Amino acid sequence: MTPDSTAPAREGWPERVASWGEALAMAMLLAMAALVVLQVIARDGFHLGLAWADELARYAGLTIVYLTSPLLLLRNRHVLVDILLNILPARLRIAVECINDVLMVLFGALFLWGGWVYMQRAGRFSTPALGMPNLVFYAPVMLGMVLLFAAAVIRAARQVAKLRRGDLTPPPTDGGIKL
Amino acid sequence: MMSLSALVLFLIMMIFGLPIAFAMGVSAAVVIWWNDFPMTVVAQRSVNALDSTPLLAVPLFIFAASLFNHAGITRHLFEVIRIVVGRIRGGLGHVTVLTNLVFSGISGAALADIGALGSTQIKLMREQKYRDEFSAGITMAAATIGPIFPPSIPLIIFAAAAEVSAVKLLLAGIVPALIIAALLMVQIAIMARVQKLPRDTVAFTWSGFGRTFLVALPALVAPVILIGGLVTGLFGPTEVAGVTVAYAFFLGTVVYRELTWSGIVAAARETVQATASVLLIVASAALMAWVFTIDQIPTIAAELLLSLSRDPLVLLFIVNGLLLVVGMIMESIAAILILAPIITPALMQAGVDPVQLGVVVVLNLMIGLLTPPVGMSLYMVSIIARMPLHRVIAGAMPFLIPLLLSLLVITLWPAASTWLPNQLVK
């Protein structure tokens, strides 16, 4: 993975807001690594099982995925197959990308609907090890999906604005994340 | 019918460039909604799939590999191997294979290996007048070792999807990775003679070798610590990933002192981006898998496969054919998550060891990284080598021979995958 692949192509206020999510996710990654190593030391060195550390590490994992995804969407960095997009005429490409953005809005809406109903039930309980309310445990997921939904709406609005301006350049991308 | 609708919707959306995670998620969610299932399934299944300790190994292994790269440790590995085998005809090809083999003991993904090593390897081969097609081809082919040798992100994901021991699966990759490396080196030796490839310009002296070896030694022992920890039961797969991160920090800040704060930040940023990208696919695939389960697709697929044959070898060849085609058109993590729960029950009923099946599935899909139209290694090398795609594809072709031969060996000889884990894990 090259360092350049993470460099932003164009920054507006939505990207700056989403960058806060990414910064939090980076802090959670460091915490997760520390918690996993702590579990090894506690178990192999002191015969202690740290269920709370495992739970916090999983919480960090969920935070990383859902709080980084909105920025990836705004920067067009999710894994995608763009062979067909690249051979489409410019105007048709933008129209297809616009439909794709609407589909992402639909996914966000369906997820948030399901998540809202789920939280009515699950939100009354707590996590087994830490006793953390489920509302807190799942908060990064719901916040991330709200931001993802907003990011998809913003992308769609930008595509429409581009079409109105007659700007037919494809969105900046490096072809997705290099794993 | 529900599954077929979801699958067709997914494929159409994927082909039209919707990010894979969303294509899978929206097609499954729409089908769930349309068929009046509770919408809670959408959020619950996706989140439950990610709320998993084994999957924490994914970000941690990506982070470890990225830290090794930012600490300049990969460069030390490359230099010591270059001194040892560089002087052989076509030596930089051999250096590429061996460096990938060692680096794969730290990293767990083919594209991460190309990112970490590819530009250095291709630049050096270019300077020494290797044909660009050869450089691109061997860079991609050698990177397939990464997801086979432990640690391996695709194998960890297969283990989670097929409910197989992750430790056994990781250890199962060692012998197949060595087979792939050996066959690639045979192919390089043949091509070196036919194409009269140059020898490396680096001179071998015992003192130079000793100095470089000592510098690289702490990095060279990383895979040993990792595999040793798994075998002795000191760490599980997720813990070993955490320990590798800690070791990378130790090497980068204390031993080599090349890991700066900005390097750590860049590595963390790359990691969260790659993790979100991959694990969002995992979350959506869990939703798709739920739709398949409701339609009893794993049972139907098992009956269908077993009606074709009950011979494990015949079934493995059918699966190989299917996966080679799937690998050409589908992203590998998505393919594992969709297909592993479907094919594993049938092949296990026929007597195939799921550990061997995991290695066969992952190798098939990694070969798919070198084949158009959805060969992600092709696009990545095309970008880093600034080569047109058709020349990169031409470069990949000769190296498909050793990779397919490796697949044949691993298919025909189950012990290649199962012997070592059975010896080491009781």
Contact residues on chain B for A68, CB-CB shorter than 8 A = 272-273, 275-276
Instruction: Name the 3-class secondary structure at B81.
Output: helix
The pLDDT of residue A1 is 31
> Of the candidates B116, B390, B357, B271, which has an alpha carbon nearest to the alpha carbon of residue A32?
B271
Q: Under an 8 A CB cutoff, do A36 and B112 touch?
A: no
Of B17, B272, B379, nearest to A22 by CB-CB distance is: B272
Question: What is the pTM for the complete model shown?
Answer: 0.87
Q: Which residues pair with A126 in a beta bridge?
A: A133
Length of chain B: 426
SS3 content of chain B, % helix, strand, coil (to 5): 80, 0, 20
- Residues whose CB is less than 8 angstroms from the CB of residue B397 and which lie 6 or more positions away in sequence, other chains included: B137
Q: Testing the interface with A: which of B9, B41, B47 to mutate, by most A Cβ within 10 A?
A: B47
Q: Where are the alpha helices (DSSP H) in chain A?
A: 13-40, 46, 51-74, 83-87, 90-122, 134-137, 139-165
Calpha distance B361→B242 (Å, rounded): 26
CB atoms inside a 10 Å sphere around CB B137? 27
User: Distance from A110 to chain B by nearest Cα, in Å?
Assistant: 7
Contact between B235 and A40 under an 8 Å Cβ cutoff? The reply is yes
A and B: number of Cβ contacts within 8 A:
226
User: Distance from B21 to chain A by nearest Cα, in Å?
Assistant: 8
**B92-151 pLDDT per residue, tens:** 999 999 999 998 888 777 877 887 788 888 988 998 899 999 999 999 999 999 999 988
Contact between B12 and A96 under an 8 Å Cβ cutoff? The reply is no
Contact residues on chain B for A40, CB-CB shorter than 8 A = 234-235, 239, 242-243
The tens-digit pLDDT sequence of chain B (426 residues) is 788 999 899 999 988 989 989 999 999 999 999 999 999 999 999 999 899 898 898 899 889 989 998 998 888 888 899 898 888 999 999 999 999 999 888 877 787 788 778 888 898 899 889 999 999 999 999 999 999 998 888 999 899 888 899 999 999 999 999 999 999 999 999 999 999 998 888 878 888 889 999 989 998 888 888 888 888 888 888 898 999 999 999 999 999 999 999 999 999 999 999 899 889 988 998 898 899 888 888 888 888 889 999 999 999 999 999 999 888 877 788 889 888 988 998 899 999 999 999 999 999 999 988 988 777 788 788 878 888 888 999 999 999 999 999 999 999 999 999 999 999 887
Mean pLDDT by 10 residues, chain A (179 residues): 43 90 97 96 92 96 97 88 85 90 95 94 90 93 96 91 80 48
**For the range A42-46, what are the long-range contacts, defined as Cβ-Cβ under 8 Å and sequence gap of 24 or more?**
A44/B234
What secondary structure does DSSP assign to B272-333, as a single string? HHHHHHHHHHHHHHHHHHHHHHHTTHHHHHHHHHHHH---HHHHHHHHHHHHHHHHHHS-HH
Contact between A50 and A39 under an 8 Å Cβ cutoff? The reply is yes
Backbone angles phi, psi at B200, to 5 degrees: -70, 150
B198 dihedral zone (left: phi>0; alpha: psi -120 to 50; beta): beta
Nearest residue of chain B to residue A112 (CA atoms): B43
Contact between B184 and B178 under an 8 Å Cβ cutoff? The reply is no
Contact residues on chain A for B379, CB-CB shorter than 8 A = 175
Q: Under an 8 A CB cutoff, do B242 and A40 touch?
A: yes
ipTM of the complex: 0.90
| B77 Cα distance to chain centroid | 20
